[in-house]
Amino acid sequence: MTSLYSNQSVTLYNSLSGEKELFKPILEGNVGMYVCGPTVYSNVHLGNVRTFMSFDMIFRYLKHLGYKVRYVRNITDAGHLTDDADEGEDKISKKARLEQIEPMEVVQQYTIDFHNILQKFNCLPPSIEPTATGHIIEQIEIIKEIIDNGYAYSENGSVYFDVLKFNENHNYGKLSGRLLEDMITNTRELTAQSEKKNPQDFALWKKAEQQHIMRWPSPWGDGFPGWHLECTAMSTKYLGEKFDIHGGGMDLKFPHHECEIAQSEASNGQDPVNYWLHANMLTLNGKKMSKSTGNNIFPAEIFSGESPFLTKGYSPSVARFFIMQAHYRSVLDFSNDALLASEKGFNRLMEAINLLSALPTSEKSSIDINSWIQSCYDAMNDDFNSPILIAQLFEAAKYIYQIKDGKASITQTDLEKFQSSIHAFVFDILGLEDLNIAAESNSDKLNGAIELLIQLRKEARSNKDFATSDQIRDQLLELGIQLKDGKEGTTFTFS
């Protein structure tokens, strides 16, 4: 059997070229994908989640197409200075000092939170989730190579990447579209940069001061690795010197990803990545969500509704649906109104899908199922355009109601195809979950009780005892259980 990917060709927007390109993996049938993970010194907010969700959707789609995907997403548990000055402190160390615990306790706590949250949003775990602290040796080796190749210098126990030297025969700035000379003329004045030859240089290794708790021995003395280096070390180790896809948030494009390219080229001479993908920001009140400014909203607040920005709580799947309704490269603004609209749309889609298995079949299909399926693939093949896919799914919902009402027809074979495709796109690729099914399966007793009330209400109605029937309906609604009268009887949902 041939894989789907031989029929469905994916086009993706490559930040490096600024254009949509046909996706062709280095090794046919295999994809190596690296995504920059979180720095685990605080809880992830919804903006962080959006990026990981976007790449989860991409991961899911590539797998669906039959690619064997090795998805590597790191945990940054070391390095990462709070500022660029020489006195900059490691973020995790700082948090540990403030809370008077071990740095690895900080790391552990927020790594667990990160995993829990992503699981709630139904993100698949990556194939490999390496940590920066687990790859200190690899990082030191890369630094040695860069020094040997003449693109780094050590100074007072620290090692810096020599950007000017590198730019003499490489192109520093090719990813972010910057020119080094512009950067030099526009550099802001920063104090305490005495160790660097020039401000554009970045740290590969930082000397640890006496009080610094996260430290490792190295040829240059005790210290810790620079932030950009870990991704180069881990992507190279698990995906090779050249791999297919590198993803991350738009805000990492410069300097982080630019530095990764420079480090690879300076150490092994390879431009490391064929396709750079950048997920755009989630904004709140029109401004980027950010840990440092506090303009953010946390997943726990979404679920509980306990936030000044929300009127109620929303399920993880509704939040995921909301995010999937925008293209991953567009800025998306978070608001209660937008979430409310998504919730209604999401419920409508789920209700239509639940009708699928009970649809009547006919001798002929009046709907061209094959071309509908292809239109779903076309959407995803076009740079993972999930909003278009969702529009197609609502078209499918319309078909479902037409078939149900006898205004359209479908054969048994087509229905099976229709059903399996919808399931693939909604649950496997978009990663949505049907909450009513989940609710039904874990509360059989409650469901039985509600069914009983529905039966009693039905009897009351047939006796024209509307006082009783309305009491059952209204009081259940107050409890958050909504009865829905339809032609084939009464159903209910939890609101």
Partner RNA sequence: GGUGUCGUGGCCGAGUGGCUAGGCUCAGCUCUGCAAAAGCUGCUACAGCGGUUCGAAUCCGCUCGACACCUCCA
Cβ of residue 226: shortest distance to RNA, in angstroms? 10
**170 annotated to bind ligand:** no
**Amino acid residing at 291:** K
Complex with RNA: residue 268 or 315, whichever CB lies closer: 315
Complex with RNA: residue 412 or 482, whichever CB lies closer: 482
**155 annotated to bind ligand:** no
Sheet with strand 332-334: strands edge to edge: 287-288, 282-284, 332-334
Kindly tell me the burial class for residue 402, based on how many C-beta atoms sit within 10 Å of its own C-beta (0-12, 13-18, 19 or more). Answer: middle
Phi, psi of 63, deg, nearest 5: -65, -40
Cβ of residue 288: shortest distance to RNA, in angstroms? 4
Complex with RNA: residue 307 or 402, whichever CB lies closer: 402
From the list 462, 433, 452, the residue with the least C-alpha distance to 492 is 452
26 lies in the site for RNA, by CB under 7 A: no
Name which of residues 249 to 308 contact RNA (CB under 7 A). 249-256, 279, 281-283, 286-292, 296
Total binding residues for RNA by CB under 7 A? 92
Complex with RNA: residue 66 or 88, whichever CB lies closer: 88
3-state SS assignment for residue 470: helix
- Bridge partners (DSSP) listed for residue 287: 284
Site string for RNA, 307-336 (x = CB under 7 A): ------------------xxx--xxxx-x-
Token pair 């205004």 is found at 407
Site string for RNA, 61-100 (x = CB under 7 A): -------------------xxxxx------x---------
129 in Cβ contact with 75 (< 8 Å) = yes
Please give the sequence-ordered ranges of beta strands (E in DSSP) within 177-321, or none if there are none.
Answer: 202-207, 223-225, 243-249, 273-279, 282-284, 287-288
Distance (Å, whole) CA 21 – CA 270: 20
Q: Which of 308, 448, 480, 486 binds RNA (CB under 7 A)?
A: 486
Cβ of residue 456: shortest distance to RNA, in angstroms? 12
Token pair 């054969």 is found at 411
250 in Cβ contact with 281 (< 8 Å) = yes
421 lies in the site for RNA, by CB under 7 A: no
Give the length of the chain.
495
Kindly tell me the burial class for residue 293, based on how many C-beta atoms sit within 10 Å of its own C-beta (0-12, 13-18, 19 or more). Answer: exposed
**301 annotated to bind ligand:** no
Complex with RNA: residue 26 or 85, whichever CB lies closer: 85
Strands 332-334 and 287-288: unpaired
3-state SS assignment for residue 422: helix
Site string for RNA, 396-415 (x = CB under 7 A): -xx--xx--x----------
DSSP-derived secondary structure letter, 39: B
Site string for RNA, 176-195 (x = CB under 7 A): xxxx--xx--xxx-------
Q: Compute CA distances 308 → 43, 175, 298, 311, whole Å.
A: 19, 39, 12, 8
Distance (Å, whole) CA 320 – CA 283: 15
Cβ of residue 466: shortest distance to RNA, in angstroms? 4
Q: Which of 385, 411, 419, 436 binds RNA (CB under 7 A)?
A: 385
Cβ of residue 46: shortest distance to RNA, in angstroms? 8
- Bridge partners (DSSP) listed for residue 14: 19
**259 annotated to bind ligand:** no
Cβ of residue 330: shortest distance to RNA, in angstroms? 3
Choose the stretch contacting RNA; rule: CB under 7 A; options: 62-70, 127-135, 238-246, 485-493.
485-493
Cβ of residue 291: shortest distance to RNA, in angstroms? 5
- Bridge partners (DSSP) listed for residue 276: 246
Site string for RNA, 342-361 (x = CB under 7 A): x-xx-xx--xx---------
390 lies in the site for RNA, by CB under 7 A: yes
Choose the stretch contacting RNA; rule: CB under 7 A; options: 4-12, 24-32, 174-182, 414-422.
174-182
Strands 273-279 and 243-249: parallel
338: tokens are: 């937008």
Cβ of residue 357: shortest distance to RNA, in angstroms? 17
**80 annotated to bind ligand:** no
Site string for RNA, 221-250 (x = CB under 7 A): ------x--------------------xxx
Choose the stretch contacting RNA; rule: CB under 7 A; options: 65-73, 409-417, 433-441, 484-492.
484-492
Complex with RNA: residue 227 or 425, whichever CB lies closer: 227
Distance (Å, whole) CA 420 – CA 426: 10
Q: Compute CA distances 402 → 19, 23, 68, 489, whole Å.
A: 40, 37, 38, 19
**Total Cβ atoms within 10 A of residue 55:** 26
Kindly tell me the burial class for residue 366, based on how many C-beta atoms sit within 10 Å of its own C-beta (0-12, 13-18, 19 or more). Answer: middle
Choose the stretch contacting RNA; rule: CB under 7 A; options: 105-113, 122-130, 232-240, 381-389.
381-389
Q: Which of 391, 424, 435, 476 binds RNA (CB under 7 A)?
A: 391
Choose the stretch contacting RNA; rule: CB under 7 A; options: 134-142, 155-163, 205-213, 385-393.
385-393
The annotation places the binding site at 36, 231, 256, 260, 291
The annotation places the binding site for ATP at 291
The annotation places the binding site for Zn(2+) at 36, 231, 256, 260
